[in-house]
Structure 1
């Protein structure tokens, strides 16, 4: 029996996906999760007869949370109707070193974090997609309820000391800000600024939590018709938790998009360091990248890595109304949740499987060609629609002026920087301006794209042409993109 208890202590620990997190067992509880083969087998009366006390009956999985002594749980385990028993245990997370920054308070000072730019969220906003009407559950420490940059649409607390789902830590608020900080001219802006954020508080102010409460939080998300579930957490020591997987299977089958993390064990001496629940096939496992598009050293890797997203030096919201930088796969996952909210708004009739495939199909390939265990399918990008790819140009002058000829008159109001622009290899915009230089009302139009400053020698850029309209207001059928490399 002693050996069994030691095994399950490790089994139920869940940790944050923050950078360099360390986990330790704080307390062994006297609670167990008792699983049955199906709902008809669940027998609370029998638990009582065997000396146990039923604390909670789960809704979507055939299981009971039971308070029992070691002797009582042995009797319960031996009952013919019981399929599986796991010990519910408590853990504590030592947080990463954080980087405080001065708070932004003036309306002119709203800051767009580099990760939001890198995943092409602004281009999605430009097309009218901001996550409006999409419900995102943040399974975390709660969310600040009075932060000027956040609107919390609802939530629940499963920690024992409070019914409030307000954040009394910081981690959940930081994650929520990455997903959906408002575009309101203050602080920061998130990937999906109009998404509906729901705080599912399963971690407490000491960063402590138990598996049974995480399962409750997932069940709440199912019952309340969430579209997306962000889980910036992982089980301790690569443990495959039975109950956690079972409830995630249910959530997946009911159409929830499940976003998790690969984990922060990239430096472990193992061939595969992806952690659960990201390791489950129902969950999108997200790895972290830095501002140079390199995979973060701490980011876990392995066969289950699906996509990557910005996860280093990410600036976001805190519970006291301020802002701060944090790093970790915890910060990468909410970029994906936010992007899925934008895509859900764009494709409201898509199934979760279709949206997941669309996410993977809109990535920037990094590392070795194609999928790899570090970046997965690559860095997520906005679903900007179909583009005609013009042949790449080499040895381009650093002061190149691009001329685009249209075989019909073009509406001058569509010749703007939002429709003709250039990005560098990291996705940052290079300052250019388009000009309508010649127009024959009967035959053709020429648009030139000028650069304000010389292009960097040896750098590769992309020219984007989007949403150009003819004089009668008709949108031209094809958007265009073209890579070009500046001469050394």
Structure 2
């Protein structure tokens, strides 16, 4: 069998046309190894041959490489040291509001930077304010795996990381900041209030300013959450196909006792199923409901939905110290994350499976919708915490 170094050299070799002025198109793949030996051999070859850019992902014993578009990776896949060669798939955040880069719809009651405090309809609908006199999710560590979190007077950020390039974890899109506000906007005298206003927010930036990211960045983000002992991870994004690497990390986080919430997807009634990671049984898959007590038309349907939560016209924190109203299962998911923080504050011994069970057992079913649309029904944080 050919040596790993030789196979890497052949796969990474640029075709003759690459010598021309126009650079060759490249494709991103993760090389995942069975053992530490293969992982280290790969890194040694890449460094010796000054192959850049690449990323070492220790938690998976994987290396991210960029291969020429038409490179034949079959010999690498068949090498004894290689566990798999996986495309580093691109994925998007799950909001159906304004497209990235455009202006968000300003909420009527949140038009200024410091408006009098309002309780968003979604927070009120799940009953979170009924708990605030005794439970606001104090010090429960919640990671927002998203576009980052912007500095905002209505948010208190405890820390964060950027897994894209190691730079700032500040938000340059708006999505992550909006999600963070629904989870834990402060219970002060202005702006909005989140489901768990005293939870500790952590920004795990794995998506760029356009709301796109790669599996490799998510893998590193989840690994950071495990190493830094996060208790809840909010995942308001989706992938149409399964990623074995993402699956591995979801399982690892779940085994470490982390509650994982995931948005179901925005593909509507004819979606044919949920997006990943919401399809994974370790997650709490969240559909979107409306103020009128319906399941939102954009909310994906399919087996595996656990609960629904408010996801239309959701007012929350945004860029430039402002507030905005957005739609999407992205906006529904953080209601579940905030509820998880309240549950863990009420009973720190709860397992992820028990948190999910409590949410489902206390949800309010909507008339006229099957479990394929709403799961057990609309989230009820107040009832769930009473049973914790």
TM-score (norm 2): 0.83
Secondary structure of residue in 1 paired with 2:119: coil
The structure with more helix, counted as a fraction of residues: 2
CA contact (8 A) 1:123 1:382 kept: no
CA contact (8 A) 1:59 1:219 kept: no
Whole-Å Cα distance in 1 between the matches of residues 88 and 26 of structure 2?
A: 6
Map of 1:158 onto structure 2? 163
Map of 2:379 onto structure 1? 380
- Give ranges in structure 1 of 5+ residues lacking alignment: 1-26, 388-488
Q: 1:183 to 1:281 in 2, by over 3 A?
A: same
Whole-Å Cα distance in 2 between the matches of residues 250 and 28 of structure 1?
A: 34
CA contact (8 A) 1:228 1:257 kept: yes
Whole-Å Cα distance in 1 between the matches of residues 244 and 55 of structure 2?
A: 17
Alpha-carbon displacement from aligned partner over 1:120-146 (angstroms, at most 9, x marks no partner): 0011213x110101000001110012x
Map of 2:318 onto structure 1? 318
Q: 1:28 to 1:158 in 2, by over 3 A?
A: farther
Pairing 1:329-344 to 2, within 5 Å after superposition: 329-344=329-344
Matched, 1:35 2:36: no
2:144 to 128, 138, 141: 138
Alpha-carbon displacement from aligned partner over 1:286-329 (angstroms, at most 9, x marks no partner): 00000011000110111111100000000011121011110000
Map of 1:183 onto structure 2? 187
Secondary structure of residue in 2 paired with 1:57: strand
Map of 1:96 onto structure 2? 97
Size of the aligned set, in residue pairs, is 352
Q: 1:95 to 1:310 in 2, by over 3 A?
A: closer
Work out which structure has the larger RCO, using CA pairs closer than 8 Å and 6 or more positions apart in sequence: 2
- What is the aligned-residue RMSD (CA, Å)? 2.6
Secondary structure of residue in 1 paired with 2:60: coil
Q: 1:89 to 1:285 in 2, by over 3 A?
A: closer
Whole-Å Cα distance in 2 between the matches of residues 89 and 377 of structure 1?
A: 31
CA contact (8 A) 1:266 1:273 kept: no
Q: 1:29 to 1:293 in 2, by over 3 A?
A: farther
The structure with more strand, counted as a fraction of residues: 1
2:125 to 97, 104, 118: 118
Map of 2:12 onto structure 1? none
Whole-Å Cα distance in 2 between the matches of residues 386 and 227 of structure 1?
A: 17
Mark the structure with the bigger radius of gyration: 1
Whole-Å Cα distance in 2 between the matches of residues 316 and 379 of structure 1?
A: 20
Whole-Å Cα distance in 2 between the matches of residues 124 and 305 of structure 1?
A: 26
Post-superposition shift, 1:283? 1.1
CA contact (8 A) 1:157 1:200 kept: yes
Whole-Å Cα distance in 2 between the matches of residues 284 and 300 of structure 1?
A: 14
2:233 to 208, 212, 229: 229
Map of 1:252 onto structure 2? 254
Post-superposition shift, 1:241? 1.1
Q: 1:32 to 1:71 in 2, by over 3 A?
A: same
Whole-Å Cα distance in 2 between the matches of residues 367 and 176 of structure 1?
A: 30
Post-superposition shift, 1:92? 6.9
2:223 to 202, 206, 219: 219
Post-superposition shift, 1:65? 1.9
Q: 1:46 to 1:163 in 2, by over 3 A?
A: closer
Map of 2:242 onto structure 1? 240
Map of 2:292 onto structure 1? 292
TM-score (norm 1): 0.67
CA contact (8 A) 1:104 1:187 kept: no
Map of 1:403 onto structure 2? none
